Structures are given as C-alpha cells and as structure tokens.
Chains A and B, each alone.
Chain A
Amino acid sequence: MSITELNKSQTEKLLEVNDLKMHFPVKGGFFKRTIGAVKAVDGVSFDIKKGETLGLVGESGCGKSTTGRSILRLLDPTDGEVLFNGEDITKLTGKRLRDIRQDIQMVFQDPYASLNPMQMVGDIVSEPIKNYHKNRKGEELKAEVMDLLNRVGLPEDAYYKYAHEFSGGQRQRIGIARALALKPKLIIADEPVSALDVSVQSQVLNLLNELQDEFDLTYLFIAHDLSVVKHMSDRIGVMYLGNIMEVAEKSSIYAEPLHPYTQALISAVPDASKIGQKRERIVLEGDVPSPENPPSGCPFHTRCPKAMDECSKIKPQLKEVKPGQHVACLLYE
C-alpha cells in the first residue's frame, strides 16, 4: 500500500466512508465458538467535506457511536473502507496509523469518565502533545497548554487542578482542549452535550461552533437529540439499526423528510412552537429489533407505517432521490 498523497486536488472530501461494517462476534456454547454476530454497523457510506459538519442521529443502539469509533480505529472495522484525505485508514498499522490519528480526534460523551482522575488538567491536555512532539517541553509546552485552556474558556488556575474539581460543562471543555491539542483536521464528537444541563449545553455548542471557524475544523457530530444535531450540522445522516436511512442537507431533511423513519423521528420531537394544538404525531409501534438478528430486507420494515410486501425481501440502497438528498427506501425506487 502506498502512502502517497492521492490526487489531493480532487479530494474536496476530507473523509469518505464506504460500506463500513462492524460486526461483533457473539460467542457461546461449550467451546465458546462464534455463534452469531451483532451487526452494529452494517454497510454505512457517507462523506464529509472539508470544513463541514455532518450530524449522525438515531436512537440508542443504532450504531452511530460504533461508526465514530471505527473511523478512529478505536474499533477495527469488519469490512469496508474509510478514506481520510483519500487514504484508506482501515488497513494502516504502526507509525502511519499513529501519524494519522493526530489529524482525527474525539470528544467523548461522558465528561466524568473520559478524564483521568489521577492527572492534573495540565497533564491531561499536554499528554497528546508530549506523545507526538517530544521536543516540546517545559515552559513552551506549558504556555501552549495555557493558551488552549484559555481558548476553551477555562480559568488560568485550571492547569493545576484535577478533573473532579470541575462541573460537567467545564469537564467537557477540558475534553475539547485535549482534542484540540494536536491541531486536528477532523473532530468526532460523540454525544458531547447529552450529559449536560440546557444552559451549559448551549455554552458548549456555541464553543464548538466558534472553534470550528477559528481552527478550520471538520466535525462528525453524533447525537440522539435532533434539535441539537440540526443546530450544529450542515448535513445530517439518519441511522437505524446499523444502516443509514437518509442523508441530506439539514434544511431539506427537516423541511421534507423522505424516509418514513426520518418522518417518524422528526414528528416525535416535542415542539414548543405549537402549544395548544394537538399535533399529528407518528408514534412508532414496538421497539428497535435486536441487531443480532435484524429483520430481512429493509431493517425498518417491522415498524414502518408505510411498509409494503417487498420491504421484507429487498434491502433498499441509498439513492439520490432529490438533489443532495439520499434515501434508502423502496418507496422511491
């Protein structure tokens, strides 16, 4: 495999994910043989352009976090390719993988669990820099970390404090400073605000938006809250049971959702602008099926209010139905 910079001129796309699959083996029986697989991500394709924010939404268990982790190679995908700047990173090993991880950083959901309680904040944030730039140390390094802490809105004295001394919102700022430390190109934010109160949530969202402009960042923004995803993203991908059901510009996906699942998801969000009126809510029956034994054909057909006979037989592929709006549904084939 070559490490050449592939036709950089045409790669407007920073990240391209093609048919990504992540299956977790299920072991059982006397010899602990593999008896099945949890198909957490089952053939996901999308791309993110430079400077863009792509939002991934879906219910819990739909594979959005697993997708994020596979891109960073925190999990080794079962199949498919992840092209970062045109280079397939699923096959990388050793130094090259280490290098590319500088460019892709992650902000985690739980600000209480993702920071080492034994380390001072200064050490948490400087660790990635020390890891990659051995020559930077002492006062120079400290000044750099101070700058970062300052930029994400933490007080000066935060450097010598421990994570437990901070509130949830401030901890998430520490996590963001750590992600920024290596000047990455892509940040994968996995539910960065779902553990926070609304007033703090808005601070963190505003901060992420400011940083995007300032550092020229590209985001993959993973969340279950549709209003938050809409606020943050340029384009949105809707996931269900390991598959992407619809990808489109946020304006079109909210104005005119095409996939029945997207329609149900959007109609389920409580809407404060329509007080007093009884809204037509599409209430889905039942629960999300187990990804160990997903339905045949379209994964959504068991709960889909518009399901047809063919839906249980044919698995629909993502197709461009309207300009920029890709839908995986037999209704549009």
Chain B
Amino acid sequence: MNNSQSNVNHEPLLQVKGLETAFSIEGKDHNAVDGVSFNVEKGKIVGIVGESGCGKSVMSLSVMNLLPKGIGKIRNGEVLFEGRNLEGLDDKEMNKIRGKDISMIFQEPMTSLNPVFTIGYQLEEVLHNHFKLSKKEATEKVVQLLSAVGISRAERIVDEYPHQLSGGMRQRVMIAMAIACQPKLLIADEPTTALDVTVQAQILELLQDIQKKNDMAIIFITHDLGVVSETCDEVIVMYAGRIVERTDVQRLFNSPKHPYTELLMGAIPRLEEEKDMLATIDGIVPSLTKMPEVGCRFANRCPKAMKECTTVTPKLAKNEEGHEVACLLYETSRPEEEVLR
C-alpha cells in the first residue's frame, strides 16, 4: 500500500542522535532524557527497559513529537526517520507521518480509546486521515483489520463501544488501529502490562506475527525482562534518562555488564530457578529536580560505586563484541586492576 518511498541503502529506519528532552519545573529546565542516541534497523524489535521514571516513555513521546506543549520540549539532538529530520516538522506534516509511517500503542487500552465512539468509527478515522476511501471501502477494511488481529466476530465489534470489550480485546483494537496503515515503525509502550499472562501471550504472539508479515520495526518499551527476552532482538537499558547498556538480547541476558542491569535481573523472581533472597536496589530513581549534575546517575544506589563515579560521567562505549555499556568499571583507559575490581 505505501511502498512508494524507495529504500535507502543500509540507512537505519530510525536514528536518534543526542536526544535531550527537558521538562520545565518551576522555571528551570530539567532533562528527563539526557543525551540518548540509538538506531532502529528496518524489521528489528528493539526493547527499552528500566524502572518507572527512567525516561522510557518520554523518549518515545519525543520521537513521535507528542510532548505536552509548553511543559516538555526537545532541547537538543535530532530524530531522523528514513533520513528525514522529524524535529523541524510542523504539526500538519507530522500528522502525515504519525499513524501512517510511525504509530504507537499505549499501556492502558481503556484510556486510549474514545468511550463515546464505536470501535468501527475510531478505526475508520485513521483510514480517512491517510487514504481516500469510500464509506463502504473503509468499513470493509476495518472488518479485515479486526480479523487480522484475531477478533472472531469482527462484523459485530465495529458497532460496539470500548466498554463492551475485555482488556485483551481492546488492546487488539489498539493494535488494529496502529497497523491500519502498515507503518514501518511501531512504538509499543508497555502494551501488555495491564493484561493477564494468558492474554499477554496472545498479544505478544500477535505482535510478532504482524511484525514478520509486514517487516515492521518495533520499539518495545517495557519493564518486564521476561517479555524482552522473548520478543526483542536488541535491548536498551535506561536509567534516569540515559542509556546505561545496549546489546543484543542474548548477550544481555548471558553477560549483563552494568551493575544496574545485573541488579535488575537479580531482583526478579523467576519460574525456572529458586532463590532465597532477591537482589534489591536501595533507594529510588532520583526525581528530575534532584538529578546529580555530574557523574554517573546510578552512583548513589550502586553497590560497586567508586570515588570517581560521582565526579566523572561515564560514556556509552562499545567493546569488541559490540556490547555497549556506560560505566567507569569498563572504561578502557583505566588501569587493568581497577577494571577488574
């Protein structure tokens, strides 16, 4: 349907470069996303994990240009989609991309559907925005979309309202809406967090099917490392607005490097193993106004923190295997014995 744009050779689908998103609190700007850079390749699933308050959602809203006006703004950096900078675009042009090339699904399927319109109406709206379709064509397409996301009585659902559906069904409707225009990139912000495990399994299966069929890239934002391990190709671990670790999914689970990642993994009870005590991380993510100015933002909670951690800001550095980590423990310029402690 929308393969009109030619594929640029080996250029990542999405490039985020040095993104800084700030919120204005009492007249001062505070960076909720602080210098984040990453690429998403065509047809790949990239997971973004971290506790609440780590800037995962703010980052995705920045990409979509959906930050609350007057409060949040992009201070620095750029977002390139197929080589085109999204940041300079006005609302009208951005609307052509949102929903068509990049779309998004949210955590709470109840609050992201409008309660006073039928499911059919809301789906048709998306189609009308981007294509010229007759009423009949649009209805047919909607039924087709709903069947594609595994809703069995699609013809009847179109006339129903969101409250008549279960949580899993609503999330399917949201997915149908998001894939209506066959986007190249889907941003899924905690899409299964509000769902039961059995429904979560259905939705994950569905997303992976659609991803393969449409060769779509997905940014999968979640705090559930189990979900990441089953769905993603690459994982980004965020802490307090910065990327602390990035690598492919196997390497991350087999040899996590950043102390934060290690603790995060140790904190989760797992079905397949027995632990007496779970790892804990003392304290909480610092609030925006209390972010340390220099040094590693995890230093005050890190069990492996050294003196320099509060004065030197670690950079995200890549090792030979392509495993990126931002931690002084792994900075290569340091003497060998200190690296190993």
Contact = CB atoms under 8 A, between A and B. Distances in A.
B32 interface: no
B264 A268 contact: no
Interface in A204-248: 205-206, 209, 224-228, 230-232
A269 B197 contact: yes
A91 B223 CA distance: 45
Contacts of A232: 269
Contacts of B249: 275-276
**Main SS at interface, chain B:** helix
A283 interface: yes
B269 A230 contact: yes
Contacts of B284: 167, 169, 200
Most chain B CB within a 10 A radius of its CB, from A264, A275, A279, A281: A275
B277 A206 contact: yes
Nearest to A227: B269
Nearest to B152: A286
B230 A271 contact: yes
A307 interface: no
B283 to A, nearest CB: 9
B226 A270 contact: yes
A59 B198 contact: yes
Contacts of B168: 287
Contacts of B294: none
Contact of A265 (B198, B267, B278): B198
Nearest to B268: A198
A180 B226 CA distance: 33
Contacts of A283: 198, 201-202, 205
Interface string B158-201: 00000000111100000000000000000000000000111111
B272 interface: yes
Nearest to B226: A270
Contact of B278 (A197, A206, A274): A206
A271 B278 contact: no
A274 B230 CA distance: 8
B272 A60 contact: no
Contacts of B226: 227, 269-272
Nearest to B267: A202
Nearest to A251: B274
B270 interface: yes
Contacts of A93: none
A273 interface: yes
Contacts of B223: 197-198
Given A226-B197, A275-B253, A276-B250, A199 B264 contact: yes
Interface string B245-265: 000011001100000000111
A273 B230 CA distance: 10
A198 B268 CA distance: 6
A24 interface: no
A112 interface: no
B126 interface: no
Interface in B211-239: 223-230
Interface in A280-321: 281, 283-284, 286-288
A182 to B, nearest CB: 28
B306 interface: no
B52 interface: yes
B267 A198 contact: yes
B92 interface: no
A254 interface: yes
B8 interface: no
Interface-centre pick from A59, A209, A227 (highest chain B CB count, 10 A):
A227
Instruction: Name the residue in A230, A287, A288 with the highest tally of chain B Cβ atoms < 10 Å from its Cβ.
Output: A287
8 contacts: A167-B284, A199-B280, A205-B269, A227-B270, A270-B204, A272-B268, A276-B250, A283-B205
Given A206-B280, A268-B198, A288-B166, 17 more contacts: A169-B284, A202-B269, A203-B280, A205-B278, A227-B226, A264-B198, A268-B201, A269-B226, A270-B200, A270-B226, A270-B229, A271-B272, A273-B270, A276-B249, A279-B230, A284-B202, A286-B152
Nearest 7 interchain pairs by C-beta? A270-B226, A231-B269, A202-B278, A268-B201, A202-B267, A199-B281, A59-B196
